[in-house]
């Protein structure tokens, strides 16, 4: 990953700050999704090529791992690493902030932000 600077905010944004990456992490870390087709079922309707790219990016960054879940060699289950799980408080804070500051937002995640 090319860094714009050594600023931790800039570096975090370079890794997580695009339109889709935090949503893929949300699905893995908070919603316990693990399979490609489960990610495609999310309401945001990510395109398959973008999902493939973000999963690869997250794996390369050490936030997720993949392992085959059937005899078909291309069927992978994705799970968060310890580093990936450490994003849970950040994701929950996004939920809290959005619910408090963006009108007409709601989510099943709201119940998971009370811890």
pLDDT in tens, 2-49: 789 999 999 999 999 999 999 999 999 999 999 999 999 999 999 999
pLDDT of residue 110 exceeding 50: no
- To 10 degrees, the CA torsion angle through 91, 69, 51, 62? 50
Tokens 């905010």 appear where? 9
Express each pLDDT in 42-90 by its tens digit.
999 999 999 999 999 999 999 999 999 888 778 999 999 999 999 999 9
Query: 12 in a domain, yes or no?
Result: no
Query: 10 in a domain, yes or no?
Result: no
The CATH number covering residue 87 comes to: 1.10.10.10
Counting the structural domains of the chain, the total is 1
Q: What pLDDT was estimated at residue 109?
A: 56
Query: 4 in a domain, yes or no?
Result: no
Can you give the residue range of the structural domain that contains 104? 20-113
pLDDT of residue 111 exceeding 90: no
Query: 61 in a domain, yes or no?
Result: yes
Q: Which residues of 63-97 are buried (b: 16+ CB within 10 A; e: fewer)?
A: bbeeeeeeeeeeebebebeeebeebbeebbeebee
Tokens of 41: 């079922």
Query: 6 in a domain, yes or no?
Result: no
């Amino acid at each position: 990953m090319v860094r714009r600077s050594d600023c931790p905010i800039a570096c975090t944004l370079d890794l997580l700050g695009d339109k889709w990456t935090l949503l893929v992490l949300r699905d893995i870390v908070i919603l316990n999704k693990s399979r490609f087709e489960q990610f495609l079922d999310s309401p945001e309707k990510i395109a398959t090529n973008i999902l493939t790219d973000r999963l690869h990016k997250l794996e390369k960054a050490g936030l997720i791992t993949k392992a085959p879940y059937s005899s078909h060699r291309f069927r992978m289950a994705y799970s968060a690493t310890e580093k990936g799980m450490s994003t849970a408080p950040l994701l929950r804070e996004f939920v809290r902030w959005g619910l408090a500051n963006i009108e007409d937002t709601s989510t099943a995640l709201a119940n998971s932000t009370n811890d």
